[in-house]
Structure 1
Amino acid sequence: MSERHELDAQTRPRLMPLPEEHWDARARKLLAVAPRDPGGRVPNIFTTLVRHPDLYEQFMPFGGQLLRRGRLPERLRELLILRTSRNTGARYEWGRHLPLAKAAGVTDADIDRITEGTEAHGWTDLEEHLMRAADELHSDARLSEATWEALAGYFDDAELIEIVMLVGQYHMVAFFLNTAGVELDPGFERMGFTEGGRNHA
């Protein structure tokens, strides 16, 4: 297969969102409480993942705990998610979290820095440590002693656990999105997303 055809194959969905006319009673019950986009549309991630209803049912409370009820400040949470999205090449994850990040105070300058990594000019010390944490978890599946100690100066034990679990959660989500080829929903954009995220700084 040529490189062009291989790229085309990678960008076509392997799993399509489950059409509403194919929702059985359980899928309808699960999706009835899913977050919805303006106009009432259920995002593609949920209508695709619901093809495995048992997993969907368990996944949603865990993801909701990290995203909606976590201990980390919203802005810092979104910085970690966007850096993880960039590291994993997860276009969908990036596009869906841009509005959340901006609502939490992430600026266009921050978004530019996220694509550059820890060496970008303008990070605070804490933000630089968080970017390094996302990168280390991505590349090494653990935090270095230096990064752990640095973060421990800002966060308590529960928050340190949450940082690791948050980055891990969005790796898992990226694996699903990238492999299934879930398409970004209408009305969302990938502003600032750059390819080659796995070659992070």
Structure 2
Amino acid sequence: MTVLTMDAAALPPPARALYDAIAAKRRARGEGFGGPYLALLNHPELARRIEALGFFLKFEGVLPRDVYQFIVLTVAKATGAAFEWQDHVNHARAAGLPETLIAAVGSGDATALPAPYDMVHAVLAKTLAWQEVPDDLQATAANTFRPEGLVEIVVLSGFYQMFAAINQGFGIGAPPHG
């Protein structure tokens, strides 16, 4: 990357202040911060707004943590976003996502997913193909996770597809020690 500043220490003061604030907020939740956000910090206001949505979805959304991580890994696998996969696989384990499910997502084998992951995967199959989620599948997801959860599944699919584009567009590879 030769055009964007990708070193937090070299960011201009407003972007560095935002980086420090976001990193501290993430550390307070036991999370790291960097990767695609370093590219985004070259546009501080956009980075601030994307982080606000990401923080809400990750820490304040209605979906259970294991389902959230299942979604992230599924989108990462489907889009080839190595950074997101590596950044989230240990979080998925910590959230209680069974190793067999992580392996199934990693191999692309969705033939024997247990509930509710089978239903979530079916929703993601539609969103990743840019297709409408059928009414019956929407109803099942809304009955399982409330309407708010259904909306979060679809939004998370788009959110992490956006991050895949950021990662690929700016050459952000897998994080070290993943």
Q: What interval of TM-score do these two structures reach, taking the shorter chain for normalisation?
A: 0.7 to 0.9
> For structure 2, which runs of at least 5 residues remain unmatched after alignment?
none
**Deviations 1:14-72 (Å, cap 9, x if unpaired)?**
766522442221012101123368xxx85222222101112111111111000111110
| TM-score, normalised with respect to structure 2 | 0.86
3-state secondary structure, aligned to 2:133: coil
Structure 1 segments of 4 or more deviating over 4 A? 13-17
Check whether the contact 1:90–1:174 (CA below 8 A) recurs between aligned residues. yes
TM-align CA RMSD = 2.2
TM-score, normalising length: structure 1: 0.77
Residue 103 of structure 1: CA displacement?
A: 0.6
Counterpart-to-counterpart distance in 1, 2:108 and 2:11: 42
Identity of aligned residues (%): 22
Gaps of 5+ in 1: 1-12, 189-201
Q: Which has the larger radius of gyration?
A: 1
**Retained in 1: the 8 A contact 2:123–2:137?**
yes
Aligned residues: 172
Structure of greater relative contact order (alpha carbons < 8 Å, 6+ residues apart):
1
- Residue pair 1:85, 1:170 contacting (<8 A) in 2 also: yes
- Tell me whether 1:106 sits opposite 2:103 in the alignment: no
Once the two structures are superposed, the pairs formed by residues 3-152 of structure 1 within 5 Å of their partners are 13=1, 18-35=6-23, 42-114=33-105, 115-119=107-111, 121=112, 123-152=113-142
Pick the structure with more helix per residue: 2
Change (3 A) 1:42 1:116: closer
Check whether the contact 1:43–1:185 (CA below 8 A) recurs between aligned residues: no
